[in-house]
Amino acid sequence: MSKQLSEEQLETALEMLAVGINGVGREKESLFLAKLCLVLANQLGDIDLLEWAIDQATVDLM
């Protein structure tokens, strides 16, 4: 990956996502996350990278 967040930015991202999920409520959580993924996939502009990201998110679902 060519561009990654700094540790500090990653912490900020984590907080933003948590607040975002809490803000939409449990009922809309899935739709919110699906929309977020689609927006980010479009911004990513790299289908291979998206596939890699999906793989990363799929493993170790405990």
Partner 1 sequence: MNRPISQSKSLYFDYPKYGFKRAPEQEGLTSVHPVVIVGGGPVGVTAALELARHGVRSVVLDDKDTVNEGSRAICIARHSVECLQQLGLADRFEEKALAWTSGTSYYRGKPVYRLQMPHSDTDRYYPMYNLQQQYIEKFLIDEAHGNKLIDLRWQSRVTDVEQDYTGVRLHVETPEGKYTIDSNYLLAADGAHSVVRRSLGLALNGEAYEGRYVIVDIQMASDYPTERRAFFDPPSNPGLTILIHRQPDNIWRIDYQVGEDVDEEKELSEDNIRRRISAVLEMIGETGKWQLEWWSLYKAYSLALDDYRHGNILFIGDAAHLVPIFGVRGLNSGFADAMNAAWKLAWVIKGWADEKLLNSYSPERRGATLEVFENAIKSTKFMTPPTRGHHLMRDATLSLAVSNAFARPLINPRQSQPYTYMDSPLTALRKRDAEFECGPGAGAALLDFRFSVTESLLDHVGPGFSGLYFSDSGVVDAQLSGLCGELRVGNVQFALTVITRASPVPGSSSLLLDVDGALFSAYGAGNGTFYLVRPDRHISARWKEIKIDEVRQVFARTLHGGTNE
Q: Which residues are at the interface with partner 1 (CB under 8 A)?
A: 30-31, 34-35, 37-39, 42
Rounded to the nearest whole angstrom, what is the least distance from the CB of residue 51 to partner 1 in the complex?
Answer: 15
Helix (H) or strand (E) holding 24: helix 7-24
Rounded to the nearest whole angstrom, what is the least distance from the CB of residue 11 to partner 1 in the complex?
Answer: 26
Residue 22 or 30 having the CB closest to partner 1: 30
Q: Which two tokens stand for residue 42?
A: 């479009």
CB 33 within 8 A of CB 21: yes
Question: Amino acid identity, residue 33?
Answer: L
Residue 6 or 42 having the CB closest to partner 1: 42
